[in-house]
Amino acid sequence: MYPYSRPFVSPASSPIRDLYKYLRDPETIGLSGGYPDATLFDIDGLREASVRAWQDTRLCLQYGDTDGVVKLKSEIIRLMERRGVRTAPENIVVTTGSQQAFDLLLTVMVNEGDVVCVEDPTYTNNIQALRVHGARMLPVRSDADGLDVAQLEDILRTARTDAERPKLLYTIPTFSNPTGATMSLARRLHLLELAVKYRFLIVEDDPYSEIRFNGEPVPSLRALAAEVDGAEDWVVHMASLSKIVAPGLRVAWSIAPTEITRRCAIAKQSADVGSSAWMQCIAAEYLAGGRLEAHLERISKVYGEKCAALCSGLRELLGEAVNFHQPDGGMFVWAKLSGDVLAADLLKQAIEQKVIFVPGAGFHVGSPDPTTLRLSFAAPSVSQITEGVRRLCSAWKALRAPA
Ligand SMILES: Cc1ncc(COP(=O)(O)O)c(C=O)c1O
């Protein structure tokens, strides 16, 4: 009826958000969303940080610099240094969630029809953002070692014209959403070399890397770029406090080459003028307060226990019916059903049993595998997870029972 812009003539809403209505029933167990466990928020630390932030009302209640409050940028530089990344204020834009960092980057870089390679499967909201910006998405498959860089190389090698060549590659290399997989060091180095050779930007989305409960840390692509000649010019790194502190802050940032950063800041002027100075000041005080490391240790331990409860429950109760890799961190387990059981059919039964998960199809850019699903262990308690898996097993049995 109204003359909508092309992407909004018949927009698809997020398949994850669409499931939230079932969670209005308090009896339903959500193994669906990527919400952090609210019982783990560092309430005392954030309260103290809020009180300190409030001491400078002229800063926290006023408009601030579009690219971010200066003292928050200083804290981000310190935090990134601990993660092995050296950066400077002119390379940082503080954003309203890393969701906005991605959107600003697409505004700055992508014209309608431009090719963007996307690790497949991937985070649904960023598929949505790429669609809104009219990107032509090329899926690059992934496995337990993350993005299949050899397949990407084939795509790059066989592109005949500039128009066929990707401008960007979007990846979540550490504890991916939805797969939980982490890209191996060898693949990371190979990917950086390809970016330099074929001159495309790697967009590294990194909200989960500090939620590690097993194994040894792998350096981020941005950290490794310092070791590969010319690679620092070809990585945009996005990080966020959403999963490790609290998503309600909506504080995140991108780290990019200076000329991209300047353009993202200009794009942000028209997007929202600037992220909330108040929330940025709270975030700055929280980071300056030195509580993050202990907090990370605490949440990683609890998420590790929850992940173990989910994985052992799946193994014990569903056995051969489901295949998955147990992740070393993050919030998600990606599973594949065997015996031609479709995740969408299982979800219908699961809703009746009062447990929900997200069918995998919505995470795919390429042809969806209807037998995959994403399970999140972050928000429910260990006992809810155990009960949730039991209900999932009942749903599976109901589906397999002869009619
Ligand atoms: C991979 C990934 N990127 C970005 C986001 C968005 O995070 P933020 O709250 O910082 O916008 C999420 C949230 O689920 C995510 O999983």
Q: What's residue 227's pLDDT?
A: 94
Q: What's residue 19's pLDDT?
A: 85
d(CA 268, CA 265): 5
Please indicate whether residue 220, judged by its CB atom, sits closer than 6 Å to ligand 1: no
Q: Whose CA is nearest to atom 7 of ligand 1?
A: 98
Q: What's residue 366's pLDDT?
A: 86
Hey, which of 14, 205, 279 would you mutate to test ligand 1's pocket, going by the most ligand atoms within 8 Å of its Cβ?
205
Q: What's residue 11's pLDDT?
A: 86
> How many CA atoms within 13 Å lie on the side-chain side of 298?
12
Token pair, residue 55, equals 């001491």
- The rounded Å distance from CA 103 to ligand 1 centre is 12
- Per-residue pLDDT of 302-358, as tens digits, reads 999 999 999 999 999 999 999 999 999 999 999 999 988 999 999 999 999 999 999
Hey, which of 93, 94, 242 would you mutate to test ligand 1's pocket, going by the most ligand atoms within 8 Å of its Cβ?
242
Which of the four pLDDT bands, split at 50, 70 and 90, describes residue 402? low
- The rounded Å distance from CA 255 to ligand 1 centre is 16
E strand segments, 121-272: 136-143, 146-147, 168-171, 201-205, 235-240, 251-255
Q: What's residue 153's pLDDT?
A: 97
Q: Residue 119, SS3?
A: strand
More confident residue, 226 or 13: 226
- The rounded Å distance from CA 97 to ligand 1 centre is 7
CB distance 334 to 146 below 8 Å: no
Closest-lying ligand 1 atom to the alpha carbon of residue 243: 9
Q: What's residue 33's pLDDT?
A: 85
Closest-lying ligand 1 atom to the alpha carbon of residue 331: 16
Please indicate whether residue 208, judged by its CB atom, sits closer than 6 Å to ligand 1: no
- Per-residue pLDDT of 184-236, as tens digits, reads 999 999 999 999 999 999 999 999 999 999 999 999 999 999 999 999 999 99
CA distances 150 to 1, 122, 166, 311, 388, Å, are: 47, 18, 15, 30, 38
Which of the four pLDDT bands, split at 50, 70 and 90, describes residue 403? low
- Per-residue pLDDT of 59-85, as tens digits, reads 999 999 999 999 999 999 999 999 999
- Per-residue pLDDT of 99-148, as tens digits, reads 999 999 999 999 999 999 999 999 999 999 999 999 999 999 999 999 99
- Per-residue pLDDT of 251-282, as tens digits, reads 999 999 999 999 999 999 999 999 999 999 99
Q: What is the mean pLDDT of the chain?
A: 95
The answer for residues whose C-beta is within 8 angstroms of residue 206's C-beta and 6 or more apart is 172, 173, 174, 220, 222, 237, 238, 239
Q: What's residue 16's pLDDT?
A: 76
Q: What's residue 297's pLDDT?
A: 98
Q: What's residue 1's pLDDT?
A: 86
- Per-residue pLDDT of 151-184, as tens digits, reads 999 999 998 888 889 999 999 999 999 999 999 9
CB distance 168 to 313 below 8 Å: no
d(CA 338, CA 199): 40
Q: What's residue 238's pLDDT?
A: 98
- The rounded Å distance from CA 397 to ligand 1 centre is 34
Please list the alpha-helical segments (H only) found in 160-256. Answer: 185-198, 221-224
More confident residue, 402 or 70: 70
